[in-house]
Amino acid sequence: MASKGAGMSFSRKSYKLTSDAEKSRVTGIVHEKLLNDYLQRIFSSPDHVPPAATSRKLLNFQNLPDCLDQLLQVDSEDEESQGQVEGRLGPSTVVLDHTGGFEGLLLVDDDLLEVIGHSNFGTIRSTTCVYKGKWLYEVLISSQGLMQIGWCTISCRFNQEEGVGDTPNSYAYDGNRVRKWNVTTTNYGKAWAAGDIVSCLIDLDAGTLSFCLNGVSLGTAFENLSKGQGMAYFPAISLSFKESVAFNFGSRPLRYRFGMMAVGFRPLQDPPGADLVRAQRLLGCFRAVLSVELDPVESRLVEKESSEWQLQGQPTVLLTLAHIFHRFAPLLHEVYLVEAVLINFLLGIVEKGTPAQAQSMVHQVLDLFWLFMEDYEVQDCLKQLMMSLLRLYRFSPIVPDLSLQIHYLRLAISILRHAKSRKFLLSNVLFDVLRSVIFFYIKSPLRVEEAGLQELIPTTWWPHRSSREGRESKEVKEETGEERLRRRAYERGCQRLKKRIEVVEELQVQILKLLLDNKDDNGGEASRYIFLTKFRKFLQENASGRGNIPMLCPPEYMVCFLHRLISALRYYWDEYKASNPRASFSEEAYIPPQVFYNGKVDYFDLQRLGGLLSHLRKTLKDDLAAKANIVIDPLELQAATMDDLDEDEEPAPTAAQRPMQALALGGALPLPRPGWLSSPTLGRANRFLSTAAVSLMTPRRPLSASEKVKVRTLSVEQRTREDIEGSHWSEGLLLGRPPEEPEQPLTENSLLEVLDGAIMMYNLSVHQQLGKMVGVSDDVNEYAMALRETEDKIRRCPKRRKDILAELIKSQKVFSEKLDHLSRRLAWVHATVYSQEKMLDIYWLLRICLRTIEHGDCTGSLFAFMPEFYLSVAINSYSALKNYFGPVHSMEELPGYEETLTRLAAILAKHFADTRIVGTDIRDSLMQALASYVCYPHSLRAVERIPEEQRVAMVKNLLAPYEQRPWAQTNWILVRLWRGCGFGYRYTRLPHLLKTKPDDANLPSLQKPCPSTLLQQHMADLLRQGPDVAPSFLNSVLNQLNWAFSEFIGMIQEIQQAAERLERNFVDSRQLKVCATCFDLSVSLLRVLEMTITLVPEIFLDWARPTSEMLLRRLAQLLNQVLNRVTAERNLFDRVVTLRLPGLESVDHYPILVAVTGILVRLLVHGPASETERATSVLLADPCFQLRSICYLLGQPEPPAPETALPAPDRKRFSLQSYTDYISAEELAQVERMLAHLTSASAQVAAASLPTSEEDLCPICYAHPISAVFQPCGHKSCKACINQHLMNNKDCFFCKATIVSVEDWDKVANTGATSSAT
């Protein structure tokens, strides 16, 4: 066989056999006697009788083929069965019947052995059936949901509701519900979990059917099976939506075959018996070569350990190996032989020697593969080898020392250390055929007992619920001595578990280090650049394929992949820094802004901060030319229009491209492996952005500052190493450096792209998964609370009630057992997801995003090219660090914590109103993040630490008019800055909700008040500046208050009407939520008005200002409206509050009345007498004012007599005096003074008021006399109405003419002037 040389140093010689001693020394062929002994040792038969013993000829290379033929002869019983086997009907290769044996919608893998449910309850059977004998097959449970696995006949008819086991002559086992099915159902077996193996056995001689789970028999499930003519049974399965399994009918070695085959059961598909025997014998010969060494000097054979064997280029050994591989190579394309022979051999090498010895030995074996086998044979063998290895790693059971996973990973590392094999696998297998990300996943054990966690963590403990700020809540008691001992023992067990997991994680990092190697470019492209191309496609499919379940990488895999990638990335980053002092450390990493607009990195259809990429390139082309020396080719811009992208013009996929998975209603299709890493056909939007993506022609010399570069399109596959790295540090990915960026390089450009991909990964699904895994901790807290409540009930239970006590003790036992299980599972989750090292990884990403945003912001308008996910990751990673890693780890312990908080605060403060950001979703996210940021003391102090100029700009943006923007979040931010300073506004939860349990005590709205006097002062200063700031802001606040409260009243009217109907009527939960939201908005708007009046009272009370009187009258009108609606006796508000409907828990008298009271007290009690009188006169002048509403605040139905003490409040009535825990005595005294003042003032006004003619009243409000006339039309109204109207509209109420000016109107003066003129 011709050798092709795979990294070997041997020259290709034509070796000939000779007995001449001189020629022996020249050619390296040993003499005949030694050669015979050597070949006899290598090719000895299994019974150790030399195959040529009957011949007098010595064994040599001329008669070796005959010897091999004799060695590889197999007995007749080992020969494969030809045609049909008795008892079995159908093809000898058994697969799933995707052409006719199905019901419902299913996704079938390209090997026709794996299936995913894609409808309610789809069913599929195999192509082969059995009618006699003992048969079995295995099913690998990939997901643990609803499935029924078993056997059926061809006469069974299934539908979307009835599957295997629901019809006569069909039988199934359901490990999800732990039952067996045959028309009826009974309990059977035990629950299965993802990764389990179900063996399905049918004995048609005895008429029985049974199942095994992970090799352990579950007992006979069914007896007296129907037999006879026409009764043949097919393997079959019914599975619900998104559930998946993999069948093994015998195409691969059965996992649990030995015990079952010993009692006569055989797989549906016969193993390749003859080939298996031949492969094992040839492997034995190969082992013999590795354990024997020729010593031509001493003319003897030397026995050695195979781990010490070295390929030294001896011709005798090479020719011997050539004969072995000539017979061995054709066998290694079968997956059965690869798993049964090759993997076991390689695993033996890994298990016996040290890691260094194993890697050296596997490397030499792969050298021999490439040397003696054809390329296609090696490639096919490597593909099957990695597929089998991945399957073994993914579904191997979790054992305490993780030894199985460690062996599989060590073998994968040994294979990938071989450069030629690694490049082939990277280019053609790892990302195109395999789900290689699984190698970086450590699955969580669903059965704690089988994983050995009980022995590893014998003592369990569970943390008390704590706040996300890291401080325990008040109700948590001091830790007792016994609890302290339990906690320390639990922590020691967790550390033991963590150390074992770290071994696996380090091996996974080693795999990624091999894939990121960029120094193996001899004879081709380096591994890192192959990885970059495949990695980008992986990101593209997960970014554009959301919702297509088979195409997406599961988020739990993505989390582990991200952490391993960060470890490998930082290793290479700091390694580059060590050899290049001008580069930056990984702690200083960021993505330079030119990466986002020079087109070297494809961001698919992901949104940019400024909108679509095509729009940005057109509108900002001048800025690109001026700042980055980039010129967009006009022809390319013109070509990238949507009109040019007709679906009919899409080129047909090439043969090398893998087809997209397809769905057919009511059908099952043979689909390609659901590899998230294969290349899907891009959709219309994807292709548009990909075609329009900008790439740069890399110049061959550094650019001067004045030179411009014309750009062209360059796909990911077309990029070379020079396109990424460039020939100069400012080229490649960094071409187009803006003047704000430093000249020194950060690191290798390829590492920047990997980092960019890692940040995108976090945004795609990692953050979502981090939040999901917190559910384990929440479950622990729920059960711990239930256990404490049960123990408390046991202590209080009377001894005579033994029945109740027995039930409580039973509940206590259940809760304790569940907590033991969950606490051990929580230890696993903390070690794999929420460890200190994982927290530092997320923190590193956060700091990178902050630096990237800061650098991008410095580029001015080019900041719009940055993808939105950078801001999203900055926001979400901070949220994850704060909310998901506690209480074991606190964000406050992180290095540079205070500085990071301040930098994030500066970004939120600046960009929540940045006009360069146009996306609605990202703007809302920024606003919500800032609203949450000011709810916690630490983050609020960070906002106060940002430069004063930025703080003032932030408050100015918050005070901008509320119209045409999301004002609710803005108002919420202002309220949080005030909470803790307002009247009765020091509560965390509303008084009437204290007895109820909050859904999540860590919500921002449930945090303790932490007002900011500094930001309040900025707000006051801004409101005092300029004549238009305060009026425009307050006008919008009053408008929104009027709208929110009016909507609230309208909705509770509808709710009340629905509740009073005789027929049973349910109120829409969404309507209840909107109603409660309008109420909360009304309260928060009132609090903003209270803050404004307290900080800047002159805006309302200094009537030298042109708008003060109008604002005060509008405020009085709204306050009276709120009071009258809420305080009326047995009114609508009272009735709805009494109903206590789910969703309206926050609707109560207290929050809205104390907000109104705070405003009234500030207007009528505080301040100089002149301002108090002014406010009093406006309030009393409003026709809606009712003194009874003020009395209602103190629980009094009527105003008290002058100079008399207030009577004690009625407990059945609302009264501020009942809330002494929330309202201070001083505040109550101020309310009493206000009531006395208004009582006296209203009496004086009533005595002095004169009747007014209806003709003299304002025709708009009918509350005030006419006092203004409009010019030029001459229509009239009161000043309050026209001033309020002119803030929003310049047209006359009546004739719609444009109002030029408004003049005072006095009826007496104008009547006198008219008479004089007459």
For position 953, what pLDDT does the model report?
A: 93
Cβ atoms of 933 and 941 closer than 8 Å:
no
In the DSSP assignment, the letter for residue 1298 is B
Q: Is the dihedral of CA 40, 46, 48, 54 positive or negative?
A: negative
Taking the chain (1318 residues) in runs of 10, the rounded mean pLDDT of each run is 39 37 47 86 64 61 88 68 73 88 81 87 92 93 89 91 92 93 92 88 93 90 89 94 90 80 82 90 91 80 77 83 92 91 92 86 92 92 91 82 89 93 90 76 75 83 55 53 88 92 94 92 85 90 65 83 96 93 92 90 89 89 85 61 40 37 37 35 30 32 49 64 70 84 86 95 92 87 90 89 91 92 90 93 97 94 94 95 85 91 95 91 92 90 94 91 73 90 85 63 71 93 86 90 91 80 68 89 94 92 85 90 85 80 85 93 88 89 84 76 54 80 90 90 72 72 77 82 73 82 71 49
| Beta strand segments in 442-528, E | none
What residues have CB less than 8 Å from 964, skipping those under 6 apart? none
Q: Using CB atoms within 10 A of its CB, is residue 493 exposed (0-12), middle (13-18) or buried (19+)? A: buried
**3-state secondary structure string across 755-821:** HHHHHHHHHHHHHHHHHHHHHHHHHHHHHHHHHHHHHHHHHHCCCCCHHHHHHHHHHHHHHHHHHHH
**Ramachandran area for residue 709 (φ above 0: left; ψ -120 to 50: alpha; else beta):** beta
Map residue 222 onto helix, strand or coil.
strand
Cβ atoms of 678 and 596 closer than 8 Å:
no
Task: Report the alpha-carbon distance of residue 72 to residue 66 in Å, rounded.
Answer: 10
DSSP β-ladder status, 216-222 and 208-213? antiparallel
In the DSSP assignment, the letter for residue 341 is I
Cβ atoms of 107 and 116 closer than 8 Å:
yes
For position 1221, what pLDDT does the model report?
A: 85
Place of tokens 């001693």: 21
DSSP string covering 264-332: T-EESS---HHHHHHHHHHHHHHHHHHHEEEETTTTEEEE--GGG------HHHHHHHHHHHHHHGGGG
Task: Report the alpha-carbon distance of residue 499 to residue 896 in Å, rounded.
Answer: 27
Tokens coding 564 = 């391993």
For position 998, what pLDDT does the model report?
A: 55
Task: Report the alpha-carbon distance of residue 1199 to residue 1179 in Å, rounded.
Answer: 17
Task: Report the alpha-carbon distance of residue 468 to residue 1007 in Å, rounded.
Answer: 10
In the DSSP assignment, the letter for residue 342 is I
Gyration radius (Cα) of the chain, Å: 40
For position 1308, what pLDDT does the model report?
A: 55
H or E segment to which residue 37 belongs: helix 32-42
Cβ atoms of 293 and 301 closer than 8 Å:
yes
H or E segment to which residue 210 belongs: strand 208-213
DSSP β-ladder status, 88-89 and 129-130? antiparallel
Distance of CA 949 to the CA centre of its chain: 36
Distance of CA 720 to the CA centre of its chain: 32
For position 308, what pLDDT does the model report?
A: 74
Task: Report the alpha-carbon distance of residue 293 to residue 304 in Å, rounded.
Answer: 7
For position 691, what pLDDT does the model report?
A: 28
For position 1064, what pLDDT does the model report?
A: 56
For position 1315, what pLDDT does the model report?
A: 45
Q: Tell me the CB-side half-sphere exposure of residue 314, using CA atoms within 13 A.
A: 19
Model-level pTM?
Answer: 0.84
Strand partners, 184: 182
**Ramachandran area for residue 965 (φ above 0: left; ψ -120 to 50: alpha; else beta):** beta
